[in-house]
A = this chain, B = another copy of it.
Amino acid sequence: ADTSVESLKAQIDALSKKVGELEAKEEKSEPFAGVSIGGRLQLDYNLFDGAYNANHQGHTGSDLFARRARLFAEKESGDWDYKLLLEFAEDGAEITMARLQYKGFNGGPVIKLGKIREDISLEALSSSKYITTIERSNLADTFSPYFRWGVAAYQYFPTSKVRYAIGVYKNDAFGDSGKNKNNNLDLATTGRLTWAPIQGDGKTLHFGLWGSYREMGGDTLSSAFARGEVRETSVKLADYAAGGETVAIDHLTQYGLEAAGQWKAFSLQGEFAQRQLHTTDTTSPLDGQHYNGYSVTASYFLTGEQRQYKAGSAVFSQPKGVKNAWELYGRVSGMDAASDTQGTKVTSYTLGSSYYYSPQVKLMLNLIHSKVGGPGRAALVGDEDTGNALTFRTQYLF
């Protein structure tokens, strides 16, 4: 042993002490280990006129508001994980999602419990932080109840590239209180089957099919199906009861088709869906009535980035590590909420661009033009049969 060894010894002792201190600190903070906290802010400024502001003579209206101010807490414990997603507003808070998952069936399905997203519509299933446009289509807003209390199972088969999801939910959506006249649960049973034969190497091809049977327990179907893809306007453009009456429903059936393709920076996605009413009073002219919707979106990243396809959940998300990127997109969507003597149909055209400063920060500008028709048009919007909107979003994820 010489001096150099002595000096090494001293260095090792000093290092040992520091490592011990770090371990002690790490130990102390152990309770929080594994609890993840994050959220999002979507701050929107909207300008709109015509049909969107029909009950103010179609004058230009506007609003500035937090479209979503959310926080989540997430924690894994072995085969279980839990995510609580909270929405805060100026005058309230609510649970958006409370999802408990069990992933312990190796080679079997994942089980989800709690307030979870129903498997309806590709666009409705995409997280609001990753959708292409500022708002989802009239189709998604009409057909999806978004998050409901229930239990579901899903599984992806990597060899066949097929995925299924099936769930049962409390149907407190679309005007249903969630209970029937006996104070018993109204249930919704919903399933989705997808197939993504091409994945990776800059190419994706996705096909999907979903269906939902929804007990309504005699409650009244809410009149407004969709707003026309702009928030905080004073009129909701797709309204099956405009010029007529709302109706009490025994049950609803809904189904939909999805197709999506991606080739490098370009992507295209389309959906079709139909709802059928089964009224409590079987002599109602609305018994058996069908309502159809469709939506087609095309998007191109001028800077070449590629959206990611998540095979496990069969949805798209934003390009990985996206930075300083520009995206251009357009959408056409229609929702026919008209029957013989009442209701409206709306067609909405969107042209938009998004600038990704980073995966956390995105700025979005959308122009929307909507046309309203159908027997209930005059009752809903008078002479204001078209509406225009400019919407701007600042999005921050953490």
Contacts and interface: CB of A to CB of B under 8 A. Distances in A.
Interface of A: 1-2, 4-5, 8-9, 11-12, 15-16, 18-19, 22-23, 25-26, 28-29, 31-39, 41, 43, 53, 56-57, 59-66, 69, 71, 73, 75, 77-78, 80, 82, 84, 86, 88-95, 98, 100, 113-115, 149-150, 170, 179, 181-185, 234, 357-358, 360-361, 394, 396, 398
Nearest to A35: B37
A374 to B, nearest CB: 24
B234 A183 contact: yes
Contacts of A82: 41, 396, 398
Contacts of A98: 41, 43, 66, 69
Contacts of A43: 98, 100, 113-114, 149
A80 B8 contact: no
Contacts of A34: 398
A88 B86 contact: yes
Given A71-B84, A88-B95, A15 B19 contact: yes
10 contacts: A1-B2, A1-B4, A15-B19, A37-B37, A39-B84, A56-B183, A62-B185, A64-B170, A77-B396, A88-B94
B100 A59 contact: no
Contact of A35 (B12, B64, B86, B398): B398
Contacts of A33: 25, 28-29
Contacts of A23: 18, 22
A374 B357 CA distance: 57
A234 B8 CA distance: 74
A227 to B, nearest CB: 14
Contacts of A75: 38, 398
Contacts of A66: 95, 98, 114-115, 149
A16 B53 CA distance: 66
Contact of A93 (B38, B65, B88): B88
A94 B84 contact: no
Contacts of A92: 91-94
A112 to B, nearest CB: 11
Given A5-B5, A61-B179, A92-B93, 4 more contacts: A1-B4, A22-B26, A65-B149, A82-B398
A77 B114 contact: no
Contacts of A57: 182
B39 A31 contact: no
A118 to B, nearest CB: 14
A182 B61 contact: yes
Given A64-B185, A84-B88, A69 B56 contact: no
A228 to B, nearest CB: 15
Contacts of A22: 19, 22-23, 26
